[in-house]
Amino acid sequence: MNADFHPSQRAQWARGQPISRLMARALEDPELISLAAGFVDNQTLPVLPVRQAMEQLWTDPRAARAALQYGTTVGYPPLREIVRERSRQVDGPEHTVPLERVVITAGSNQLLHLVTESLVDPGDVVLCAAPTYFVYLGMLSGLGARAVGVASDAEGMIPEALEEQLKYLKSTDQLARVKAIYLVPYFDNPAGVTMPLERRAAVVELAKRWSHFTRIQVIADEAYRELRYQGQDVPGTQVCDVEGDTVVVAGTFSKSFSPGIRVGWGVLPPDLVAPVKDQKGNVDFGSPNFNQHLMAKVLEMGLFETHLESLRAGYQAKLASLLSAAAEHLSRLDGVTWLRPTGGLYVWVCLPPETATGPDGRLFSQAIREGVLYVPGEYCFPVESRETGQNTLRLSFGVQSCERIALGVEKLAQAMRGVMG
């Protein structure tokens, strides 16, 4: 007798994110201009800084050996110290957190996973802006959690809509299941919007005020904070949390330096430190020590800041190229609008309500025929959401050259014309 394979409940929940199939499709056709993948610019990857840091690190055999040995679960202390110091510099010394609250992870993505794993049981609710980062939505369904949408505008999640949702959940006896509010407060993936300080403060205040049954954490995914191309930085979400018990910050050097090195971090409320450490201990014992030592050296040598400046200049030009192509080609199409971000890697496009952007719709196929790929906006909407974004799409400008971005937008406009008649 040899019975069939039976995956766990978790494995069933995590089954096949549709977006992976989309990406696989993009990779099959090298001619296709992908404005879909949220990858970073290949040409600006820090080849020279990494070599310099490696050479410096390797001048001291003891330091080299330390980098090749096991580290600790929460991460290399000097790197955690640098993360803390950088946060102090941007948000002010009054918001400095104790070192124990800083943890190093495999990108910010892993931090999101560890924190959410530590907070939610199956059936629990995480409130998310609609639209929001689709990978996080996939993670929530993989945990058997419910993603409930909160209306969002050009300044991100709307506090009044959040309160309305909390009231509704309370009135239906579901408030005890609400464990977190997820924000991407800087240059949101997918919409490119940034939350002003007042909005962040309002969301944090609501989280605290509605913590009737269990503390509702605010998870601030600040992965794009460093990628600002104009205007002033907005203070980090944690400055709105005077008690320090509500806001979780996720950060990363993946977007601002190198995704292949994949070093991210979290700043945690004290109660979450032990659970996140325990989860990380079970998952991987700690992120690769080599990468952490290397990244610390890059930062100590000042190579990060220099690289970031050139990176910003490059992305600024790409964003300009996308926006100018949009002004030229999309503005001629009735009912097509788009947001104009000042940072990040994404531009969000809205089509007339009747024009479906989904993978089974006419526009998506037509765009591929024209030679361009986008992310259908519907992937970015929580399962439980009033809006479904069926007429929206996300364009990424990180990967392609300025010329190909402009060409991609032109092709997209062509596809839209064909479909919208």
> Which of these ranges, 103-111, 194-202, 231-239, 407-415, lies near its own copies under the rule CB under 8 A?
103-111
> Which of these ranges, 184-192, 289-297, 332-340, 350-358, lies near its own copies under the rule CB under 8 A?
289-297
Coil, strand or helix at 156: strand
Phi, psi of 374 (to 5 degrees): -130, 170
**From the list 244, 275, 371, 418, which residue makes contact with its own copies (rule: CB under 8 A)?**
275
Establish if 98 lies at the interface with its own copies (CB under 8 A): no
Establish if 285 lies at the interface with its own copies (CB under 8 A): yes
Establish if 225 lies at the interface with its own copies (CB under 8 A): no
Which residues in the 328-387 window bind its own copies by CB under 8 A? none
The tokens of 14 are what? 């995590």
Nearest residue (CB) to its own copies, 43 versus 172: 43
Categorise residue 404: left if φ over 0, alpha if ψ from -120 to 50, beta otherwise: alpha
**From the list 36, 97, 103, 120, which residue makes contact with its own copies (rule: CB under 8 A)?**
120
# residues near its own copies by CB under 8 A: 86
Residue 17's identity, in one-letter code, is Q
Nearest residue (CB) to its own copies, 92 versus 270: 270
What's the closest the beta carbon of residue 418 comes to its own copies, in angstroms?
Answer: 32
Angle at 246 between CA 245 and CA 247, to 5 degrees: 115
Establish if 15 lies at the interface with its own copies (CB under 8 A): yes
Establish if 21 lies at the interface with its own copies (CB under 8 A): no
What's the closest the beta carbon of residue 152 comes to its own copies, in angstroms?
Answer: 24
Establish if 288 lies at the interface with its own copies (CB under 8 A): yes
The tokens of 285 are what? 């014992």
The tokens of 86 are what? 């950088």
Which residues in the 134-163 window bind its own copies by CB under 8 A? 135, 138-139, 142-143
| DSSP result, 260-315 | TT--EEEE--HHHHHHHHHHHHHHTSSS-HHHHHHHHHHHHTTHHHHHHHHHHHHH
Q: 36 with 373: CB under 8 angstroms?
A: yes
